[in-house]
A and B are shown apart, each in its own frame.
Chain A
Amino acid sequence: MDTKYTYTEKKDTRSGFGDGLLEAGRRNENVVALCADLIGSLKMGAFQKEFPERFFQMGISEANMIGAAAGLTIGGKIPFTGTFANFSTGRVYDQIRQSVAYSEKNVKICASHAGLTLGEDGATHQILEDIGMMKMLPNMTVINPCDYNQTKAATIAIAEHEGPVYLRFGRPKWPIFTPENQEFEIGKAWKMIEGTDVTIFATGHLVWEAVEAEAILRAEGISVELINIHTIKPLDIEAILTSVAKTGCAVSAEEHQFNGGLNDSIAQTLIRNQPAPLEFVGVDDSFGESGKPEELLEKYGLNAKNIVEAAKKAISRK
């Protein structure tokens, strides 16, 4: 496939987090890390080894971990908590709400194994509501990077940002198609491909699916503008409106429920400013199940093919 971005290697985004955390720790001695019995899964071992006095094993006690992270900020620390996305959000929602978001604490909630692509573990672990829960909290920044390089850059960037952040990433090996050592600007959408017929807004793993979708659509004579929304909150409203003013329709694609995700952030933005046809690619009010990541994306309608269909439908509604 003639994609405008290519890759030679696949790597998991959680490794981007682990490597970014180590780098953030080297740059700033106030960076500390807490983990709830998932050091290997979150790739936090290198940080733990290099900075043992700044690393806290909290055991399977996520509520206590979030509270302790909030406390560490009182004393100037920049705590990064690590566990699966499900246990980083739903399990500790009230702790995040009161001790972190309402209290404006500089805690970085780092969440792996988000979405369907966690795979075989099934729906108990495949959270598809986390973006919604986190973006509803006042003071919270929500970031969902797309590959190893972007996740590493985002991890380094959030250490330098004052305030609570939810950073979401995943388990599977995924194409590395964005530049190494890229600049990551929180809240600034990245126009990856210019086009005129339809805008695709994508976040997380589905950015790669959107890159493939663009190649398919281009081969059929459809000009796609692809925008990488790595920061869901604060949303780059100007980039969204500028693009849709040009293309006249859009698709939004994410590994999340329609409810609460990027989809409804884009929908709100368009409906309040310049209504235009918008098609959703995501999970439509259901839980996931066990399976291989690519099988799940196929079954639940989240792959490149689905983005192509959604783009055509959006264009037909103009």
Chain B
Amino acid sequence: MGCTEFFVALYFDQMTNNSDFNLDGPGEDLFFLSNGHISPVWYSVLARSGYFKTSELKTFRKLNSRLQGHPATEERLPGIRIASGSLGQGLSVGIGAAFAKKINKDDKTVYVLMGDGEQQEGQIWEAALSAPHHKLDNLIATIDLNGQQIDGPTKDIINLGDLKAKWEAFGWEVIDTEHGNDMSGVVKGLEKAKSLLGKGKPVMNLLHTEMGYGVDFMVGTHKWHGVAPNDEQLENALGQLKETLGDY
């Protein structure tokens, strides 16, 4: 939920994308989700962007569904280009897709979203070294900085320290989106990120969010990371987010 504004900004405003889905995505911006466990918000935004019918959202995590618990390609759900869920892999995939855009002389942008807990994976730092070396200035990575992971606050699990300094030291252009749950702030951040493309460096967007934003009993805690609300809790939550009623 902390990334809802980001997804909405990306799919409804910032990306040039085609809901008449072509996996190779020539001539369109591409998005890769590395932290696949936030699939519900992605599926929800994909459906409302026209990739598939919102009625299909009801099949999420059920047998024979195209909406797997973590995003997958085998079931051919439009909008999904690679499986994710095992953490740390998405930025590398984005790098490859950015290579392909360069070779194909396709001037569109590759977007990758990662989690902050995910920054503890070693592969991310291989990718962090690699993208600036290859001058991938058609790549915008975003880290959802909600400060939480399954076992508790990120700073108590394995402290990530100064991520801005780290990514800058690896050779990235780094921006902070301070208000990651404010739509105008998110849009402003993405526009700033885009303005830095084409200058020989990849761009890192540090998106400061609150996990569970918008629902008072979910905000700011890791408690709901992998837990679904019961019927009563769901009714309470939806009551706090009136714009979600009626189309689910």
On A, residues with C-beta under 8 Å from B are 32, 53-54, 56, 58-59, 61, 63-77, 79, 94-95, 97-99, 102-105
Q: Which of B159-209 contact A (CB under 8 A)?
A: none
* Chain A hits for B30, CB < 8 A: 74
Q: How far is the CA of A68 from the CA of B82 in the complex (A)?
A: 12
* Chain A hits for B98, CB < 8 A: 71
- Please tell me if the beta carbons of B129 and A74 are within 8 angstroms of each other in the complex: no
* Chain B hits for A61, CB < 8 A: 126-127, 129-130
Q: A71-B94, A72-B97 are in contact. Are A105 and B82 (CB under 8 A)?
A: yes
- Please tell me if the beta carbons of A104 and B73 are within 8 angstroms of each other in the complex: yes
Fill in one digit per residue for B81-104: 1 if any A CB lies within 8 Å of its CB, else 0.
Answer: 111111011111111111111011
- Please tell me if the beta carbons of B96 and A67 are within 8 angstroms of each other in the complex: yes
Fill in one digit per residue for B45-89: 1 if any A CB lies within 8 Å of its CB, else 0.
Answer: 000000000000000000000000000111000000111111011
- Please tell me if the beta carbons of B104 and A64 are within 8 angstroms of each other in the complex: no
* Chain B hits for A73, CB < 8 A: 96, 100
- Please tell me if the beta carbons of B82 and A54 are within 8 angstroms of each other in the complex: no
- Please tell me if the beta carbons of A64 and B72 are within 8 angstroms of each other in the complex: no
- Please tell me if the beta carbons of B72 and A68 are within 8 angstroms of each other in the complex: no
* Chain B hits for A59, CB < 8 A: 126, 129-130, 133
Report the minimal beta-carbon distance from A163 to chain B, rounded to whole angstroms. Answer: 13
* Chain A hits for B101, CB < 8 A: 75
Q: A61-B126, A61-B130, A70-B82 are in contact. Are A76 and B72 (CB under 8 A)?
A: no
- Please tell me if the beta carbons of B122 and A63 are within 8 angstroms of each other in the complex: yes
User: Nearest A residue to B104 by beta-carbon distance?
Assistant: A75
Report the minimal beta-carbon distance from A81 to chain B, rounded to whole angstroms. Answer: 11
User: Nearest A residue to B101 by beta-carbon distance?
Assistant: A75
Q: Which of B5-38 contact A (CB under 8 A)?
A: 23-26, 30, 32
* Chain B hits for A69, CB < 8 A: 96
- Please tell me if the beta carbons of A75 and B126 are within 8 angstroms of each other in the complex: no
**B155 contacts A by Cβ under 8 Å:** no
Q: How far is the CA of A59 from the CA of B130 in the complex (A)?
A: 8
The tally of residues in B whose CB lies under 8 Å from a CB in A reads: 40
**B123 contacts A by Cβ under 8 Å:** yes
Beyond A53-B103, A66-B92, A99-B93, list 4 extra A-B contacts (CB 8 Å).
A71-B95, A74-B23, A75-B99, A77-B100
Q: How far is the CA of A134 from the CA of B16 in the complex (A)?
A: 38
- Please tell me if the beta carbons of B74 and A54 are within 8 angstroms of each other in the complex: no
Q: A61-B129, A104-B74 are in contact. Are A54 and B93 (CB under 8 A)?
A: no
- Please tell me if the beta carbons of A74 and B126 are within 8 angstroms of each other in the complex: no
- Please tell me if the beta carbons of A75 and B86 are within 8 angstroms of each other in the complex: no
- Please tell me if the beta carbons of B100 and A103 are within 8 angstroms of each other in the complex: no
* Chain B hits for A98, CB < 8 A: 83-86, 89
- Please tell me if the beta carbons of B96 and A70 are within 8 angstroms of each other in the complex: yes
User: Nearest B residue to A99 by beta-carbon distance?
Assistant: B89
- Please tell me if the beta carbons of A75 and B92 are within 8 angstroms of each other in the complex: no
Q: How far is the CA of A56 from the CA of B97 in the complex (A)?
A: 13
Q: How far is the CA of A1 from the CA of B123 in the complex (A)?
A: 52
Partner pick for A75 among B91, B106, B133, B134, CB 8 A cutoff: B106
- Please tell me if the beta carbons of B96 and A72 are within 8 angstroms of each other in the complex: yes
User: Nearest A residue to B80 by beta-carbon distance?
Assistant: A103
Partner pick for B96 among A53, A63, A79, A104, CB 8 A cutoff: A79
Q: A77-B100, A99-B82 are in contact. Are A71 and B92 (CB under 8 A)?
A: yes
User: Nearest A residue to B93 by beta-carbon distance?
Assistant: A71
Q: How far is the CA of A56 from the CA of B92 in the complex (A)?
A: 13
* Chain B hits for A77, CB < 8 A: 99-100, 103
* Interface-centre pick from A65, A67, A95, A104 (highest chain B CB count, 10 A): A67
- Please tell me if the beta carbons of A74 and B24 are within 8 angstroms of each other in the complex: yes
Partner pick for A74 among B74, B89, B91, B96, CB 8 A cutoff: B96
- Please tell me if the beta carbons of B92 and A32 are within 8 angstroms of each other in the complex: no
Q: How far is the CA of A301 from the CA of B176 in the complex (A)?
A: 61
User: Nearest B residue to A71 by beta-carbon distance?
Assistant: B96
Q: How far is the CA of A53 from the CA of B102 in the complex (A)?
A: 9
- Please tell me if the beta carbons of A74 and B100 are within 8 angstroms of each other in the complex: yes
* Interface-centre pick from A61, A69, A71 (highest chain B CB count, 10 A): A71
19 inter-chain pairs at a CB distance below 8 angstroms, sorted by A residue, are A56-B134, A59-B129, A61-B127, A63-B122, A64-B92, A67-B90, A67-B93, A71-B82, A74-B82, A74-B93, A75-B26, A75-B101, A75-B106, A98-B83, A98-B86, A98-B89, A99-B83, A99-B92, A104-B73
Q: How far is the CA of A68 from the CA of B101 in the complex (A)?
A: 12
Q: A64-B92, A68-B96, A94-B86 are in contact. Are A103 and B73 (CB under 8 A)?
A: yes
* Chain A hits for B83, CB < 8 A: 98-99, 102-103
* Chain B hits for A74, CB < 8 A: 23-25, 30, 81-82, 93, 96-97, 100
* Chain A hits for B72, CB < 8 A: 102-103
Q: Which of B121-146 contact A (CB under 8 A)?
A: 122-123, 126-127, 129-130, 133-134
